[in-house]
């Protein structure tokens, strides 16, 4: 089993690019199912979650080629509408294929994705919204089957929570439904806007993405298109956190700074000098960070839950105390054990965690238990005295493309063995 070995306290410096967004690529690959002809998707990251989506597309009968960050997908020969358990288990976010499969073939079935380490991950909002579009859903011993015997029709859908995945499933499905769909309390994440841009360039008619209300006028068909995926704002946040944990100075290129608003304000509160220049961010961190008062995760544009773990790791050595409130997932402090082994001072009580900055962290043997927790342990190791060994890289590889090479190019001592 491979592990990362990190020798800490090397100041990160230099510049690097941020790869394409995992959480934008996955729904766009699902939407490509709906199109006639070929779609070319550029700036796709090479991640195991993307590989999982490609396996599903190929299983369903699509032609998929992926090389040098460009993915070609053609669903003209699609001949299945069931996703087997093995492929669902490989990637629980495969629920995002539901709306596309239903819209494309009139029926779709897959096993309940089930929870993961960070939470139960229910799909009630997805199923309720799709049934309002005309889907009939039955539960057959853990396999749910969706059909649309009378076709799919527009509806007024009000989400009780601005679920990213549920918003995406509805956008995809409603883009070819008969009539108009209005989603209120829709998710506003940048990945929602990127999906809308992709669908509109395929011929869909979607307005309001990025705001709380999205209007989708159904069209008869979607045509494959060319699209370039937005940069990954969570990878950008993670690299900045790694820099700040070492008192370093780096420049990130090919980012969209406006996607990082809530995160950059935390870096500034910690005493980092953040300079935005077009599609680059230059960040100069002080020798020791000042602990921000509170980090409260919220739906976008609030502070992103996916950045909570890397930011907690970054401020483990700061001066002061930080209150964390994790409002999105019920079990997203799995990285705390590893941080405690490295000498951090953190108390967790339900969705609240209180971090007391310590003077130094020391390297340790730690194990990742989820994707962003893996990133957090790397950030802490970069700022720790001595050597850290990180196992559980299967989680890391879901969302970070070759992060060890990126960190080495910035002066970090990080090796995969
Ligand atoms: C997306 O997950 C992202 N994944 C997550 O990133 C991200 O943390 C999350 O959005 C929030 O921003 C992808 O885009 C592939 P939600 P998603 O539906 O769509 C509850 C990462 O690290 N909920 O907005 O699953 C749910 O339990 C991953 O890259 C329901 O109750 O997130 C959670 O508490 C982790 N019922 C909250 O809503 C539902 O039907 C937010 O979930 C759906 C969700």
pLDDT of residue 235: 98
Please give the number of the atom of ligand 1 that sits closest to the Cα of 93.
Answer: 15
pLDDT in tens, 304-354: 999 999 999 999 999 999 999 999 999 999 999 999 999 999 999 999 999
The structural domain count of the chain equals 2
* CA dihedral sign, ordered 295, 299, 304, 308: positive
Q: Residue 140 pairs with which residues in a beta bridge?
A: 143
Question: Taking 80 as the threshold, does the pLDDT of residue 288 lie above it?
Answer: yes
Cα 165 to middle of ligand 1, angstroms: 6
Pocket lined around ligand 1, Cβ cut-off 6 Å: 22-23, 26, 93, 119, 121-126, 161, 163-166, 187, 305-306, 328-329, 371-372, 399
Question: Taking 80 as the threshold, does the pLDDT of residue 240 lie above it?
Answer: yes
> Same structural domain for residues 45 and 90?
yes
How many angstroms separate the Cα of 57 from the Cα of each of 81, 109, 177, 298, 316? 10, 14, 22, 32, 42
How many angstroms separate the Cα of 190 from the Cα of each of 194, 230, 310? 6, 8, 20
> Same structural domain for residues 241 and 343?
yes
Q: What percent of the chain has pLDDT over 90?
A: 93
Phi, then psi, of 152 in degrees rounded to 5: -105, 140
> Same structural domain for residues 190 and 250?
no
> Same structural domain for residues 180 and 220?
yes
- How much is the pTM? 0.97
Question: Taking 70 as the threshold, does the pLDDT of residue 115 lie above it?
Answer: no
Q: What share of the chain is helix, strand, coil (3-state, %, to 5)?
A: 35, 30, 35
Question: Taking 80 as the threshold, does the pLDDT of residue 92 lie above it?
Answer: no
pLDDT in tens, 154-203: 999 999 999 999 999 999 999 999 999 999 999 999 999 999 999 999 99
> Same structural domain for residues 241 and 171?
no
Q: Out of 88, 90, 163, give the residue to mutate to test ligand 1, the one with the largest number of ligand atoms within 8 Å of its CB.
A: 163
CATH label of the domain that carries residue 323: 3.65.10.10
> Same structural domain for residues 71 and 11?
no
The whole domain housing 174 covers 22-228
> Same structural domain for residues 153 and 240?
no
pLDDT in tens, 118-149: 887 889 999 999 999 999 999 888 888 999 99
Q: In 71-140, which ranges are continuous DSSP H helix?
A: 85-90, 97-105, 124-132
pLDDT of residue 33: 95
pLDDT in tens, 30-82: 999 999 999 999 999 999 999 999 999 999 999 999 999 999 999 999 999 99
């Amino acid at each position: 089993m491979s592990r990362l070995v990190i020798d800490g306290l090397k100041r990160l410096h230099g510049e690097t690019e941020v790869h394409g967004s995992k959480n934008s690529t996955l729904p766009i690959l699902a939407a490509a199912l709906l199109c006639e002809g070929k779609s070319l998707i550029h700036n796709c990251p090479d991640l195991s979650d993307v590989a999982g989506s490609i396996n599903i597309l190929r299983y369903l009968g699509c032609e998929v080629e992926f090389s040098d960050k460009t993915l070609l997908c053609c669903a003209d020969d699609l001949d299945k509408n069931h996703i087997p358990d093995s492929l669902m288990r490989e990637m629980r976010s495969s629920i995002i294929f539901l709306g596309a499969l239903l819209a494309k073939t009139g029926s779709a079935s897959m096993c309940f994705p089930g929870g993961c380490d960070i939470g139960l991950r229910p799909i009630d909002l997805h199923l309720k919204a799709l049934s309002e579009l005309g889907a009939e859903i039955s539960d057959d011993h853990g396999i749910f089957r969706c059909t649309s015997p009378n076709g799919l029709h527009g509806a007024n859908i009000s989400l009780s929570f601005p679920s990213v995945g549920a918003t995406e499933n509805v956008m995809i499905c409603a883009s070819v439904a008969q009539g108009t769909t209005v989603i209120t309390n829709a998710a506003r994440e940048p990945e929602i806007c990127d999906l809308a841009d992709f669908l509109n360039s395929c011929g869909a008619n979607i307005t309001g993405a990025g705001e709380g209300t999205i209007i989708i006028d159904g069209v008869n068909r979607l045509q494959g298109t060319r699209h370039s995926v937005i940069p990954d704002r969570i990878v950008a946040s993670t690299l900045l956190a790694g820099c700040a944990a070492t008192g370093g100075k780096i420049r990130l290129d090919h980012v969209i700074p406006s996607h990082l608003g809530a995160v950059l304000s935390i870096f500034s509160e910690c005493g980092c000098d953040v300079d935005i220049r077009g599609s680059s961010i230059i960040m100069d961190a002080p020798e020791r960070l000042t602990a921000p008062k509170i980090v409260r995760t919220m739906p976008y544009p609030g502070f992103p839950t996916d950045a909570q773990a890397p930011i907690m790791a970054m401020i483990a050595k700061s001066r002061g105390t930080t209150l964390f409130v994790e409002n999105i997932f019920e079990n997203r402090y799995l990285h705390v054990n590893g941080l405690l082994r490295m000498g951090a001072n953190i108390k967790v009580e339900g969705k609240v965690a209180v971090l007391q900055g310590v003077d130094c962290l020391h390297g340790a043997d730690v194990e990742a238990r989820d994707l962003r927790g893996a990133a957090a342990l790397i950030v802490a190791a970069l700022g720790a005295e001595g050597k850290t060994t990180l196992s559980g890289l299967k989680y890391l590889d879901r969302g970070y493309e070759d992060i060890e090479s990126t960190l080495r190019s910035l002066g970090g001592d990080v090796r995969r063995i």
